[in-house]
Structure 1
Amino acid sequence: MPRTRIGGVGTCTVWWAAPVAPSGAPGLVGLLDAHERERLARFRREGDAARYLAAHALTRRALGERLDADPAALVFDRTCRCGEQHGKPRLAQGPGFSFTHAGDVVGLAVHDGPVGLDVEQARPLTDLAGMAEHACAPDERVTDTGEFFRLWTRKEALLKSTGEGLSTPMADISIAADGAVRWGGRAVWLLDLSPAPGYPAALAGPGPAPPAVIEADGHALLRP
């Protein structure tokens, strides 16, 4: 890293990093707001807490650097459709962003417009057929877990780019073998990424063509 893909107008930067244990990073914990610290304290498994801290601290430091602002002072609106503060975080004024984490990988995408990023850790599934039925459109098929997780990351990234998340069925989205997306007439772009072996990832957003994408090392942004 960094790696650059040539695309359309604009640039989207994707930072990749690793989880950070809260016990060894009090400075990163100090960047979080009250809502984030309360969520962090709920995690019972160390790995979950480490992924959460890295994703949110990376987001604050990357956005703070871009906006020339104090990372700890950034105020996010998390208003969900139901009115509660558990929706996708947004800045009142600032770039679009999307963070994701799985296993040993944490990612953040920042773009001038809406963007969605997802990464998954490929692993055995006890009910591949059932999961595929949930994720696949009628004209789609997956025959192994590798195909399934690649499909899942693509659709999750698309849904995150619109802010809809899994409130919209994945089966409403159909992705052809060449990557073309059919989703109710929407114009969207979609790119596959591979931050590490065994970790398929995808980046997506609205529009007819993808931007240039820079993949960067986010570990420096997570130094204590």
Structure 2
Amino acid sequence: MPIQVWLARMERPLTEQEYGDMMAILPDARRERLEKLPKEKHQEVLCAYLLLRMALWEQRGWRDLPRIEVDELGKPFFPDYPDTHFSLSHTAGAAAAVLADTPVGVDIERVRPVSVRAMERIAGVRTEAAFFRSWVRREARVKRTGSGIVTMMRTEAPLNRGEFYYEVDAFHGYAAGVAAGQPEPPQPVHRLMLDQLL
């Protein structure tokens, strides 16, 4: 199965009805974790799970989200479907989901101001666009392996044999990318606005 990426741009807040409907599709454990966060952080998380549900319906014909567990490194997975791999990401105003037959990682970030000192120290670059391209590449790779954010912050190792990275054309003002174990780039990339997602 080719890797497919699903992106959503939230150009408006959720209504109370939409919020309630989206909370209802979340797995219980994820809903409990989300309820511990401030409500203003919920929208992007909810949209990421709605994207995952949409992707599973389109690619697998699954009506509901299967049970999700988290491994010892914090990587979520479907215990009842070990051959279906997924990854989610969210940032201010946008969310992403990806499905694949092998371990996969996705990240999306809104490009925002970062000090030149931090950009040079972390990524060896001097522009926000270059910094966030580096950041999403690192985070997508970490999400694919489940190796943890500390690994990402130290340095970025070259791609390993059998590891592939693809920049994804997201929305204006965002950087996105997918790390995968497949040599074919993600195709297609689904770009949705909130009203299309709902």
TM range (shorter): 0.7 to 0.9
Of residues 69, 76, 92 in structure 2, which corresponds to 1:103? Answer: 92
Contact kept in structure 1, 2:48 and 2:97, CA below 8 Å: yes
Gaps of 5+ in 2: none
Q: Which amino acid aligns with 1:12?
A: I
Contact kept in structure 1, 2:9 and 2:171, CA below 8 Å: no
> Does structure 1 residue 192 correspond to structure 2 residue 198?
no
CA distance in 1, matches of 2:175, 2:185: 20
Using structure 2 for the length normalisation, give the TM-score.
0.84
**Deviation (angstroms), 1:201:** 0.9
1:33 is aligned to 27
Using structure 1 for the length normalisation, give the TM-score.
0.75
Contact kept in structure 1, 2:7 and 2:51, CA below 8 Å: no
Contact kept in structure 2, 1:21 and 1:49, CA below 8 Å: no
Q: Which amino acid aligns with 2:141?
A: L
Task: Among all aligned residue pairs of Structure 1 and Structure 2, give the percentage whose two residues are the same amino acid.
Answer: 27
**Deviation (angstroms), 1:67:** 3.2
> Does structure 1 residue 206 correspond to structure 2 residue 181?
yes
CA distance in 2, matches of 1:80, 1:131: 31
**Deviation (angstroms), 1:168:** 1.7
CA separation of 1:113 and 1:150: change in aligned 2, threshold 3 A:
same
Contact kept in structure 1, 2:168 and 2:175, CA below 8 Å: yes
Aligned-residue Cα RMSD (Å) equals 2.4
1:57 is aligned to 50
Secondary structure of the corresponding residue to residue 103 of structure 2: coil
2:78 is aligned to 91
CA distance in 1, matches of 2:132, 2:39: 24
Identify the structure with the greater helix proportion.
Answer: 2
**Deviation (angstroms), 1:129:** 1.6
**Deviation (angstroms), 1:194:** 2.4
Question: Rg larger in 1 or in 2?
Answer: 1
CA distance in 1, matches of 2:35, 2:16: 11
